[in-house]
Structure 1
């Protein structure tokens, strides 16, 4: 399991998500790289959902 550092704002999280999607779809050729990037992508997507929930709860 890879541990990633989650950015502190929505825009940075979204940029990293887009970059990882590109890597997975266009660049990664070996399964190990795809697996690592997919795990990171899932962590970032979860962080984005949590961030959005926190923002909506403050409203």
Structure 2
């Protein structure tokens, strides 16, 4: 499974970075970067919370 971000919807408000800092990061220009797109047993909970908290529903988990 992989993390997918719809960058047309993303507002780069950093909620996802706060919930899953190993997966998401805002760069120096305040654009969201996906640091690691693999969903593993270790990061699944944090990524699922980030998906649920995204105000624009820009983040999803997809089959790879």
Answer yes or no: same fold by TM over 0.5. no
More strand by share: 2
Q: Which of 1 and 2 has greater Rg?
A: 1
